[in-house]
Amino acid sequence: MSTLIVLGTQWGDEGKGKVVYYLSKQADYVVRYQGGNNAGHTLIFEDKPFVLHLIPSGILFPDKYCLIANGVVVDLKSLKEEVNVLAKKKIVVKGRLFISEQAHIIFPYHKIIDGILEDENVKIGTTRKGIGPAYADKVKRIGVRAIDYLERDVFEDLLEKNLIEKAAILENKMDIASLKKEILGDYSEFSEFLRPFVANTSFMIEEAISKNKKILFESAQGTLLDLDFGTYPFVTSSNPIAGGVCSGAGVGPTKINSVLGVMKAYTTRVGEGPFTVELFDEVGDYFREKGEEYGATTGRSRRCGWFDSVVVRHSVRVNDIKRLIITKLDCMEDLDKIKICVAYKYKNNIYKDFPASRTIQKYAEPVYEEMPGFNGKVKGVTNFKSLPINAQRYIKRLEGLVGASIDLVSLGRKREEIIEVNGGTSWF
């Protein structure tokens, strides 16, 4: 049994797609266990940027099986477009891509409601792709799963109930009869597309484990966007943490071997919400431009700040992370001084553990320690000991602050631009 979870330790956008792409070569199965097409993984494929939103990046390897598990919410139009893009690149998904029969489907009314809530309620910074409302329907027990969608009588009954339930919020925005006609008009196309992919993915994973296959579980977003352990309410609608694999993929907790956390050498976040280390100066601008910090899904510019060890230490604990990869170290080049947030300060109190209080999250000030910048280039270095000494010291200091070993160092966007600190590490 060899199972590995790859997840983000900050607010997402840490470079998980590249990491999964890098590790997929060792895996037999790659499983996405939560989120929807509100996430985007940017990879360098055939020397060009390539974005996947729903399908695991392991699909780029012809001998890998990729699963979209029950914890994911699926926009069929978006999924079909992604499959078509892959087909144009001669990447065959038939017989390798499987979607859980229990995964919930996103419909046009979810996107409409998402926009209404964003405009009229608390501004979260949602992607307006219907993710939250689809998860809300799941919790309210009126959601439509893939298996329900493929049984037309069941689907039509659920659709009618959903439109009645949502009439109060929808009727002032659009004609509900026209919306129903649109959804039913798309049924033949999308059901025919979906049917070959639907499977009992929980059983598939169990069977793969029994055969000692290597399974990589891929998270979207990051720990600080987790519904329970993130900066609530400015979070996503699912659980990107390691514990989310159990409910999101149908796997028992004793069958998880290890967790690899992905962390950026500095910190970014997209959307609204507290961000203690956010920079509004030329350093923040430097990170944004050097790191090309623009959302893969939305194109929005990311908020940037120094490395926040309070956040990553929280993630290490919540996810039981023993090993980390640090990404975008090359984007720290040319800085004379580097700051690290080691604690928060609020009303003369020091917080080394991430606070749950909305007030403290919003108004706390970062407590920084300072280190000298890197004397020399890190881009293109292939051995840890060949990194500038100050870069090595920075990495070792971060290890001490967050309580986990940094075993991989990413120095660029390409798959091969990774240093294995301990050399030839087996991840499964």
Tokens found for residue 197: 């992919």
Q: Does any domain span residue 427?
A: no
Buried b (16+ CB within 10 A) or exposed e, 129-157: bbbbbbbbbbeeeebbbbebbeeeeebee
13 is catalytic: yes
Tokens found for residue 288: 């944004």
pLDDT of residue 40: 72
248: containing domain: 2-99+200-255
Q: How many C-beta atoms lie closer than 10 Å to residue 303's C-beta?
A: 22
- pLDDT above 70 covers what percent of the chain? 97
Domain shared by 416 and 282, yes or no:
yes
pLDDT of residue 117: 84
pLDDT of residue 377: 82
Sign of the Cα torsion 315, 407, 247, 240 reads positive
pLDDT of residue 70: 98
Cα 95 from chain centroid (whole Å): 25
Q: What H or E segment, with its residue span, contains residue 194?
A: helix 187-194
Tokens found for residue 153: 């009588």
Q: What H or E segment, with its residue span, contains residue 408?
A: strand 405-410
Domain shared by 285 and 319, yes or no:
yes
pLDDT in tens, 37-47: 987 777 777 67
pLDDT band per the 50, 70, 90 thresholds, residue 278: very high
Domain shared by 28 and 145, yes or no:
no
Domain shared by 25 and 161, yes or no:
no
Strand 418-420 with 405-410, pairing: antiparallel
The enclosing domain of 138 has a CATH number of 1.10.300.10
Q: Does any domain span residue 156?
A: yes
Q: Given a cut of 90, is residue 324 above it in pLDDT?
A: yes
CA distances from 312 to 2, 20, 267, 340 (A): 25, 19, 10, 12
pLDDT of residue 317: 98
- DSSP per residue, 237-277: SS--STTHHHHHHT--GGG--EEEEEEESSEEE-SSS--TT
Q: Does any domain span residue 51?
A: yes
Q: Lowest-pLDDT range, 33-42, 61-70, 154-163?
A: 33-42
Domain shared by 78 and 224, yes or no:
yes
Tell me which of 41, 53, 110, 314 is the catalytic residue. Answer: 41
- The residue with tokens 């090309």 is 292
Q: Does any domain span residue 324?
A: yes
pLDDT of residue 160: 97
| SS3 assignment, position 331 | helix
The enclosing domain of 86 has a CATH number of 3.40.440.10
pLDDT band per the 50, 70, 90 thresholds, residue 188: very high
Tell me which of 13, 75, 226, 407 is the catalytic residue. Answer: 13
Domain shared by 222 and 278, yes or no:
no
pLDDT in tens, 210-224: 999 999 999 999 999
Domain boundary among 164, 193, 222: 193
pLDDT band per the 50, 70, 90 thresholds, residue 16: very high
Domain shared by 33 and 159, yes or no:
no
Q: Given a cut of 80, is residue 8 above it in pLDDT?
A: yes
Domain shared by 377 and 270, yes or no:
yes
Domain shared by 71 and 30, yes or no:
yes
pLDDT band per the 50, 70, 90 thresholds, residue 106: very high
pLDDT in tens, 326-375: 999 999 988 999 999 999 999 999 999 999 999 999 999 999 999 999 87
Burial class (CB in 10 A: 0-12, 13-18, 19+), 238: buried
pLDDT band per the 50, 70, 90 thresholds, residue 298: low
- DSSP per residue, 64-113: -EEEE-TTBEEEHHHHHHHHHHHHHTT---TTTEEEETTPEEE-HHHHHH
Q: Lowest-pLDDT range, 73-87, 122-136, 266-280, 391-405?
A: 122-136
State the total domains in the chain.
3
Domain boundary among 175, 193, 211: 193
pLDDT of residue 136: 96
pLDDT of residue 41: 72
Domain boundary among 167, 193, 219: 193
pLDDT band per the 50, 70, 90 thresholds, residue 425: low
